[in-house]
Amino acid sequence: MKPIELSIDLGSSKTSIHKIGSGLVVNDESRVVVATKNNKMTLLESGKGVERYLRQPVPGCQILNTIDGGVITNERACVCMLKDYISRCLPGNAVLKPKIKALVSVGCGISLTEKKDIEKALNLAGANEVSIIESPLAVAGALGFGRGHFIVDIGSSKTEIAVVGRDGIVAGCSVDIGGDKLTKAIADYMVTELGSTISFNLAEKIKRDLGSMYDNNNMSMRVNVRKVGSQRAESEVIHSREIRSVIEPHIIDLLHIIYNMSFQIPDVLAEDILQEGIVLCGGGANLTGLGNYISKFMQMRYYKVDDPQTVVSRGGMYFLENSTDFAKMLNVINYK
Ligand SMILES: Nc1ncnc2c1ncn2[C@@H]1O[C@H](COP(=O)(O)OP(=O)(O)OP(=O)(O)O)[C@@H](O)[C@H]1O
Ligand SMILES: [Mg+2]
């Protein structure tokens, strides 16, 4: 029986799985609802379905995030989630359980122990063979491996910045600035400057709908807030310009790191990279006007990847499909 081959991106907010021969099968949130009895954890819900439990908590149930910054935060919960997501990739009518080969993309900064934790969780979730690559490499797999790329993957908790060359990563780093930091900055601004409290979800909506790095954006939106120290709900008008002033310092911090990383581009890759531009991916790349803003600062063009939140698992498929050529690069033994 042919093995099932899965390329997995374990993101802090989303987990995506591409299956060879089928494409994108899972694109769901990295969180679960579980109940624990006699030290045994049972999965009640995973992914988007968790929202329901957030609105109406159920006694005895725990809502758990499974990944943060590419690292497993709760092994048992993560195994429950992976089992569920992997089951969505299996044929429903199989009599014999097929062998499962999994390639997991992880951030540049994670340690050997953390990689081993991921390998263990995948094994416990049913994967027979696990390989691990660094996520910028997977993105390069989607763009065309064997050329130079300058990749900026802005996730929810981290941003991966890497120069990828013809044989692998030339230089890369993982920075603690991601979309969640921008969202939190918006929520904090509402409290400190406007004396209003809003939920993280509303701050997230403001970021997506109103956040813009264009300086001539005159959009505004009316939101329902609660004044600090009062139970009364009020409505408040928020302007795109003020949201920009809140998120811009974090984007500038990121820009400085991108700028410094650009000095790691070797001459031999410069032409490829100048031609393609800075590759922007991850959900954070969807922030309005971000590409132009980075491009202006860096004096380089930019290229926003199609479907930027699933490109890592999509690109990982290239390494699964050519696993014999990349055996040395993919073998987890190399990390031991
Ligand atoms: N339209 C948008 N505007 C601004 N930010 C957005 C938009 N769409 C998604 N995002 C942000 O993208 C982030 C999620 O991106 P992504 O799914 O790539 O993260 P992840 O891979 O789960 O996280 P990480 O790589 O840090 O582990 C969130 O912070 C979200 O707010
Ligand atoms: Mg990510």
Residues of the chain above pLDDT 70, percent: 98
Q: Does any ligand 1 atom lie closer than 6 A to the CB of residue 27?
A: no
Please name the residue that has the structure tokens 């690559």. 133
What's the average model confidence in pLDDT over 174-181? 97
Is the Cβ–Cβ distance between 46 and 14 less than 8 Å? no
Which ligand 1 atom is nearest residue 179's CA? 29
The dotted CATH code for 147-177+247-307 is 3.30.420.40
Question: Is 158's C-beta closer than 6 angstroms to any atom of ligand 1?
Answer: yes
Domain ranges of the chain: 4-138+312-335, 147-177+247-307, 193-243
Per residue in 184-211, pLDDT (tens digit) is: 999 999 999 999 999 999 999 999 999 9
Q: Is the CB of 165 under 6 A from ligand 1?
A: no
Residue 153 Cα to ligand 2 midpoint, Å, equals: 7
Share of the chain above pLDDT 90, in %: 87
CA of 15 to the centre of ligand 1 (A): 11
Cβ(155)–Cβ(113) under 8 Å?
A: no
For domain 4-138+312-335, the question of CATH label 3.30.300.10 is answered with no
Q: Which two tokens stand for residue 91?
A: 């044929």
Please state, in angstroms and rounded to a whole number, the distance separating the CA atoms of residues 116 and 95: 31
**Which two structure tokens, joined as six digits, stand for 316?**
């990982």
Asked whether residue 132 carries a pLDDT value surpassing 50, the answer given is yes
Q: Which residues contact 62 (CB under 8 A, 6 or more apart)?
A: 33, 34, 35, 36
- The overall average pLDDT reported for the chain is 94
What is the average per-residue pLDDT within 18-26? Answer: 98
Strand ranges, E, within the chain = 4-10, 14-19, 23-29, 31-37, 40-46, 61-65, 67-68, 71-72, 100-106, 129-134, 149-154, 159-164, 169-175, 196-197, 220-227, 233-239, 278-281, 302-304
Kindly give the number of the ligand 1 atom that is closest to the alpha carbon of 9. 21
- 149 in helix, strand or coil? strand
- Output the pLDDT for position 230: 85
Global pTM reads: 0.95
Least Cα distance to 225 among 241, 244, 202 occurs for: 202
**Cα–ligand 1 centroid distance for 108 (angstroms):** 17
Q: Is the CB of 13 under 6 A from ligand 1?
A: yes
For ion ligand 2, residues whose CB falls within 5 Å: 11, 155
4-138+312-335 and 147-177+247-307 share one fold: yes
Mean pLDDT along residues 207-218 = 95
193-243 fold: Actin; Chain A, domain 4 (3.90.640)
